[in-house]
Structure 1
Amino acid sequence: MDIRKSLVSALVVAASGAASAADSPHEASHSIAYPAGWQNWSTIGVSHRTDNNTLRVILGNEIAVAAARAGQTNPWPDGAILGKVVWKDTELANWKAATAPGAFVHAEFMFRDSAKYADTYGWGWARWVGLEQKAFNEGPQVCIACHTPVKDRDWVFTDPATFPAMVPASE
């Protein structure tokens, strides 16, 4: 359990400042504009892919976070944007039992708009690669093919993490 807590903490900290290159304009990906300010979005979940040794933080805009916290994710509401920030998994030199984000791989996004993206199952798909955030434009079918196993989950792999309820501050 301590390893999972450490992983979550490391990923959340890394997600808050990983893409400083996002301060400049970027080319559109699949005709979708780069989502400004995503580095400040809240965390919805984390994942570790053992098949390609990557760590991921799944972020969301306010609409996506509210839906995740309310359990309203199948389908996700229109206006929700999910972001997945990906790093290579790296063993920590001073703590062999833990891993942390290494080289930045990419940031990819799903934009929910059931009318605008009706031809792609209600989602706009976009990805920007590397710290320079170069647009990935191989076509949304690449994304859809990967997400087909979760089509019955509104095309989303992520299970939102459980967060404790907020307690109002004492006055």
Structure 2
Amino acid sequence: MRPLTGIVLVAGTLCATAPALVPAGASDGGARSGAASPIYGVTIPQGYRAWQLVAPAQEAAPLDELRAVVGNATAIKAYQAGTLPFPDGTILVKLAWKHTQSPEFATASIPGAATTVQIMVKDSKRYAATGGWGFGRFIDGKPADQAQHETCWGCHQALVSDRDYVFSRYAP
């Protein structure tokens, strides 16, 4: 699998868009400076745009978004090995854009305006109360408000507890 390059990515629905706090000692370059998400203290990880693709997605109305989830090396190794729960140090970043019609190809949708960047960071001690995961949702590089972050854990807990609270499946 090759890293994503030459594509502008921004994350999706329930959880993060620009800087996110990654715990000290995390792999793939640590954290880029920037505002941290409320509740979890997550920031956007440095170098995430060069990480490998986990899976793309197209979100139907009312969101009408194109999305891509990328993972750090720890995440990719876990996906490839089928490791659950994900190990500490796993970082997933979801990028989301409104889709728009390609000016060159009539049947293609391409990324339009960026919507959010969402981040999940696995640290079983720091985030013990939320299944070992910290969340960040960013819009235009700024953390979303606390109310939006309060929705992350409940949704992941209710819908994907059997997959270590992770929605994205590794694309074949």
Q: Does TM-score exceed 0.5, indicating one fold?
A: yes
1:88-120 CA distance string (max 9 Å, x none): 111212322111111011111000111110011
Match of 1:66 among 63, 77, 84: 77
| Cα RMSD, aligned residues only | 2.3
Counterpart check, 1:85 vs 2:95: yes
- Structure 2 counterparts to residues 17-96 of structure 1, below 5 A: 25-30=33-38, 31-51=41-61, 52-72=63-83, 74-96=84-106
Counterpart check, 1:145 vs 2:151: no
Match of 1:13 among 3, 6, 26: 6
SS of structure 2 residue aligned to 1:39: helix
Which entry has the higher C-alpha Rg, 1 or 2?
1
SS of structure 2 residue aligned to 1:100: strand
Distance in 1, Cα, partners of 2:67 & 2:109: 12
Distance in 1, Cα, partners of 2:144 & 2:135: 10
Name the one with the larger helix percent: 1
C-alpha displacement of 1:12:
5.6
Structure possessing the higher relative contact order (Cα contacts under 8 Å, 6 or more residues apart): 2
TM-score, structure 1 as length reference? 0.76
- Structure 2 counterparts to residues 112-151 of structure 1, below 5 A: 112-130=122-140, 133-138=141-146, 140-147=149-156, 148-151=158-161
Partner amino acid, structure 2, of 1:44: V
Distance in 1, Cα, partners of 2:155 & 2:128: 18
Partner amino acid, structure 2, of 1:138: Q
The answer to whether the Cα contact below 8 Å between 1:12 and 1:57 also exists between their aligned partners in 2 is: no
C-alpha displacement of 1:34:
2.9
| Alignment gaps of 5+ in structure 2 | 11-17, 20-31
Partner amino acid, structure 1, of 2:6: V
Distance in 2, Cα, partners of 1:15 & 1:151: 30
Match of 1:156 among 160, 166, 172: 166
Partner amino acid, structure 1, of 2:48: W
Distance in 2, Cα, partners of 1:95 & 1:136: 35
SS of structure 1 residue aligned to 2:6: helix
| Alignment gaps of 5+ in structure 1 | 1-10, 163-171
SS of structure 2 residue aligned to 1:64: helix
C-alpha displacement of 1:15:
4.2
The answer to whether the Cα contact below 8 Å between 2:92 and 2:121 also exists between their aligned partners in 1 is: yes
